[in-house]
Structure 1
Amino acid sequence: MPGGVAVRDDPNLHIIEELASPPDGHVDYTLVQIAIERAANPTFDAKAFNATLDHWVAVVRARVPKDAPPTTVMTALGQVIYQSGPWNDHHPFSYDLDDPFGKIYQNKLVSTYLRTRKGNCVSMPTLLMILGQKLGLTMTLSQAPEHEFARLQDVNGRWFNIEGTSPASWPDSVYIHEMNITQKQIDSGIYLRTTTPHETVAGMLEPLEAVYAHQRRPGDLLGLAMLVVKLDPKNAGGYVNEANAFFLELEHRYLDRHLTPAKLPPEQRADFQALYDSNTRILKRVEAMGWVPPTAAEDKAYLERIERYKATHGG
């Protein structure tokens, strides 16, 4: 069939999907992250990873009363992670100012963040959410353009944004202003939505999508992106990676060899066009939800925010 991309059976995705929909409804973010890390790196040491997480949980627990409210626990967690002191050997976790766009895709993994203590807007909120859940907090991940942040539920059921790169509790209006989020994007649910734990797993998969895009076949990326969309039909990144899988296949079959439709026999020309059409169809679908590719002006504004971060944090 023209335009087909072979999606191979991936045991890692079966595990992640099962973890996203446990019988008791409780999604364990630690187990999900371990599955993601193993899918990215088969030699991943889950035991050491768990021990590191438990260490930081113990440090936070020692700083708060047993029945402290969620906001108090989150404040203590933020201090332990981000403020220099004996609790973190005067080596706090911080934003990776050398790779602000996360172009080194391995840097998006939580395991890299724990090892280097330098993170980005994917790994930083994810670690906060994982540690928060271990501390008894109710947390999820939310999306903004090229950005993720955590959300925390307080004792009254209200949700607060937790900006993982600070941390701080920014109102939606700050994200709307800083990232030019439109009402259409909010109404469609692709940005600033409080996700369910099931949908949060889709957000956690963003680093694995980057790994698959660089290290695996286009069909592997397509299978993963399809899982992301299945878990959360409003996850814009999932659609973008679906489209990217078709483009990567088009690139592999034709563009890398500088082949265009005019140079191809009819059957291959039909295949070329079908791959192109699939890529375009998926992008149009997510664009109808309000997604737009990042622009040079937005990248410039983002780098300006990084410079302000450097100035504030002495970077």
Structure 2
Amino acid sequence: MKLITILFFFLINANTIIIAQDQQKTYEDSFTLLNGMLKGEKTYSFKKAVFSVENAYYNGRIDSVFINQEIRILTNLCNSLVENRFLAYLENDKKDVNKWAATYQVLCDSIPLVINDKEYKYIPFKYDFEDVFGNKDISNMFVSKLLYSRKGNCHSLPYLYKILCEEQGTTAHLALAPSHVYIKHQNKKNGWYNTELTSGIFPNDAWLMASGFIHVDAIANGVYMKALNDKESISLVLIDLAQAYERSFPDNNGTFLLKCAETAIKAYPNFATALILKAEVHKKQIEQETDPDIAKKKFRSLEKEYAYIHELGYRFMPEQMYLNWLVSLKTERDKYENKKLNTFNKQ
């Protein structure tokens, strides 16, 4: 009986090791894809980048059939809006503006639909105030969770927006604020403007500054409020990959995390979250260092890393202050809404 018990636990442990090795490979495959996109060796696709990370976290078991079907349905709805309504916008970039407006509507507006002579109301996505930073469950940040539940946050909603824009053959720029992601567009009539998907509003820059955590140096250095290009957006996904990896393997030695952070920093040098991740890994390595002289030398280097992040203008924003800031956009809408922006008015 004792021998059977030992064999049973041996088989369980062996199976656990095999599963862990398989998952390690899915993470490495995702990194290879993202790194290849940055190097130009792989065809750029934000959709593939995002779902490669989520698939790695789920150890290759993501429901790609459902996800692709949902993306296709939402894209078709966007296309239908573009084709069947008049947009009160007359500049020669109207084609792109119309697609942005349609994507915004699909994410934020109730839309009347007529199917087989019956009228239905399309219900938009909602903001999920539970676990907004994914501290309890990182999958709460995922686009796949958004597609299943129709509720998301400032990570999954702008990601889905960018995916749907690219599926329609147009562009969308992600932008960062403290602990926050939003959308920036530029059209010929209005110039640059912000799209905030958590509340479905087009806020002016004053709202972003109202958080109290955006230092002028952070703006000047491109830490916040910068319209990110596609490679910089892939850098964001690389850090998503590192954070998911850390949840899957909390006792990791930091090698994979550093690889993700350093690759992201190459494409986006002042990406504060990547710089912080790199510093945090170095901090853990110092804590495990047994040679006091080496630890002291590494600590001086770590001090320089943190000082540089502070000089860039990065400031940490507590979760409750973040939530209050988000809510302020609705409670003080008249104060922060971009009054000049009438791109999405329909006639």
TM-score w.r.t. the length of structure 2 is 0.72
Counterpart amino acid of residue 302 in structure 1: Y
Q: 2:49 aligns with which of 32, 35, 60?
A: 32
The verdict on how the C-alpha distance between 1:53 and 1:21 changes in structure 2, with shifts beyond 3 A counting, is farther
Runs of 4+ in structure 1 deviating by more than 6 angstroms, as ranges, are: 309-312
2:213·2:316 contact (CA, 8 Å) conserved in 1? no
- Following superposition, the deviation at residue 240 of structure 1 comes to 0.7
Cα distance in 2 between the residues matched to 1:279 and 1:79: 46
Q: Does 1:76 align with 2:112?
A: no
In structure 2, what is the equivalent of residue 46 of structure 1? 64
Structure 2 match to 1:3: none
Secondary structure (helix, strand or coil) at the match of 1:10 reads: helix
Is 1:303 the counterpart of 2:339? The answer is: no
TM-score (norm 1): 0.79
Structure 2, unaligned stretches of length 5 or more?
1-24, 85-92, 114-119, 333-347
SS of the counterpart of 2:210?
A: helix
SS at match of 1:69: helix
Contact 1:57–1:134 (8 Å) recurs in 2: yes
Once residues 268 and 131 of structure 2 are traced to their aligned partners in structure 1, the CA distance between those partners, rounded to angstroms, is: 28
Q: Does 1:204 align with 2:237?
A: yes
The sequence identity of aligned pairs, in percent, is 23
Q: How does 1:1-315 map to 2 (within 5 A)?
A: 10-22=28-40, 27-41=44-58, 42-65=60-83, 69-85=95-111, 91-103=123-135, 104-154=137-187, 158-216=191-249, 217=252, 218-250=254-286, 253=288, 267-270=290-293, 272-273=295-296, 276-294=299-317, 296=318, 299-307=319-327
Q: Which ranges of structure 1 fall in alignment gaps of 5 or more residues?
A: 1-7, 255-266
**Per the alignment, do residues 52 and 273 of structure 1 end up closer, same or farther by CA in structure 2, a change over 3 Å counting?**
farther
Q: Deviations over 1:124-175 (max 9, x none)?
A: 1111011111122221211111111122243679433221213322222321
Bigger mean CA offset, 93-102 vs 154-163: 154-163
- Please tell me whether the aligned partners of residues 205 and 228 of structure 1 are also in contact (alpha carbons under 8 angstroms): yes
User: CA shift at 1:306, angstroms?
Assistant: 4.7
Change (3 A) 1:309 1:277: same
Deviation at 1:21, TM superposition (A): 3.8
2:291 aligned counterpart, secondary structure? helix
Go from structure 1 to structure 2 and tell me whether the alpha carbon gap of 1:107 and 1:76 turns closer, same or farther (over 3 Å shift).
same
**Structure of higher CA gyration radius:** 2
TM-aligned CA distance change 1:142 to 1:306, over 3 Å:
closer
- 1:152·1:161 contact (CA, 8 Å) conserved in 2? yes
